[in-house]
A and B are shown apart, each in its own frame.
Chain A
């Protein structure tokens, strides 16, 4: 099977020849090593291209970047880039809110100051959300998919669900926890507006070329507890699943945290794929337990990065075999690299990826027997 066929077979609940082993393109260094890895069987997952555009007709977004510490000699340095702060102000007729971001290790924006700082900011945030318009814009996506060919798949990464966005992008966990108990009305109103808007986005996505939609929710039951998950996330997933399934799309959610307390609830959701699922020592559900609990859903398991920390390749081979043993016979199962396994530019990083891929291609023939 070609790499694309292999992962698509699993996502469609069909039989692959081998357990697919995948990596986000952003985590794969370019060059000779990359080609070797692809030839060995490592499948690319491209999530960086969208099928939709966004406009905010009545809201002006002003961005300021702190370049004070940015030395010209450092212009290609990730470390220098990490030190920069980006401030974004949303100027609306009902007032302004601002947020600050820094670049995290993998050069994704990470909030360090959230737009909702006082109860008064809720109205402004609601205005910004309500003003947002989504439209189909898939030219780049279609082109990228053609270029990618059989070496991998396009997966459309969609924004966090309304509750997770409120928690991680709009207010931060402290304010989220306090306001959930003390400003219930504002909290609920904002959620309602956000939910309505995001469902509009999925209607656009449903009409697009994207076959696989992965909602980047970063679910962790310790933070998003069962009460919150059941009240907010589950009904939202149900609506999204209905919209996407009507158009034949595959719907996955990135669940990379501790999930034991959500195990029974996840079982009841309509998601097709549990993506980024991370077993111990980072997560708290074993692959065996996950497979038993979430029958009928594809378990797209992340190789826990801690297992690759400061260790030799023998241990990595051993851990990979352990994953295969737990996953046997291997139906509805894929192994993915969805988090950093160390310094992406080091030789060791490539060696880790080669070891994992090689082990899967040696022992991961479907159905997995005695490993």
Chain B
């Protein structure tokens, strides 16, 4: 197989959510001397872009988006160890979590998977995350972006609390904050001092991508 054929097959395997083929084509890419980073960018990420387009047009739904992301994770397990030291597919770092008192994980997990596919390093703090844990993660990991999710109304004020603590600790200036979750609105996001509101996972990820493209604040 020609190198381009392998890359196209890798792309198609992602779009078809064919885990076995993703693994096989990732191995074959390495065997044929395709640099790992190229296989990721010109194979799998192209596939994820097509999946994203199909999602936007309504041909694919969230289940397909998640499964395609998981298929890409399989390929990454094979390819990532072969990325050269001076190369990196990381486009940015984001700390992510569902706020304290809230155990919902679906929305956050979808965002995590899409961000990973897009090339972000994601530090997922999980669910029911106390404000202090967000602060520590931001202080230690120095991400460019913090993402918070709340799925029930009574936990929404926790987002305000975290932002207040970040300000108090002088950590907000170098950070962009995005919030989301079913009861959250754009108006609320602005009221509490967040920089953006992700009305859905794709919108949220696109905002994060735009931020890293534009550079740090």
Residues of A whose CB lies within 8 Å of any CB of B are 82, 102, 104-106, 110, 112, 172-174, 176-178, 180-182, 220, 222-223, 225-228, 257-258, 261, 281-282, 304-306, 308-310, 339-343
Contact = CB atoms under 8 A, between A and B. Distances in A.
Contacts of A228: 61, 63
B70 A178 contact: yes
A173 B109 contact: yes
A174 B66 contact: yes
Interface residues of B, number: 35
A309 B153 contact: yes
B102 A105 contact: yes
Interface string B161-192: 00000000000000000000011110010010
Nearest to A222: B62
Nearest to B66: A177
Contacts of A261: 58
Interface string B98-134: 0001111110011001000000000000011000000
Nearest to B103: A110
B183 to A, nearest CB: 5
Chain A CB within 10 Å, residue with most, of B64, B128, B153: B153
Given A82-B101, A181-B67, A102 B128 contact: yes
Interface of B: 17, 19, 58, 61-67, 70, 101-106, 109-110, 113, 127-128, 152-157, 182-185, 188, 191, 200
B188 A225 contact: no
B153 A342 contact: yes
A282 B106 CA distance: 16
A328 B157 CA distance: 34
Contacts, number: 97
A112 B103 contact: yes
Nearest to A102: B103
Contacts of B102: 104-105
Contacts of B183: 281-282, 304-306, 309
Nearest to B70: A178
28 contacts: A82-B128, A102-B103, A110-B103, A112-B103, A112-B105, A176-B63, A178-B70, A181-B63, A181-B67, A182-B19, A182-B67, A222-B62, A222-B200, A223-B106, A225-B62, A228-B63, A257-B182, A258-B182, A282-B182, A305-B152, A306-B156, A306-B184, A306-B188, A309-B183, A310-B157, A310-B191, A341-B153, A342-B153
A177 B67 contact: yes
B152 A104 contact: yes
Nearest to A83: B128
A173 B188 CA distance: 27
Given A180-B67, A343-B154, A309 B188 contact: yes
A90 to B, nearest CB: 21
B17 A181 contact: yes
Nearest to A280: B185
B47 to A, nearest CB: 14
B68 to A, nearest CB: 9
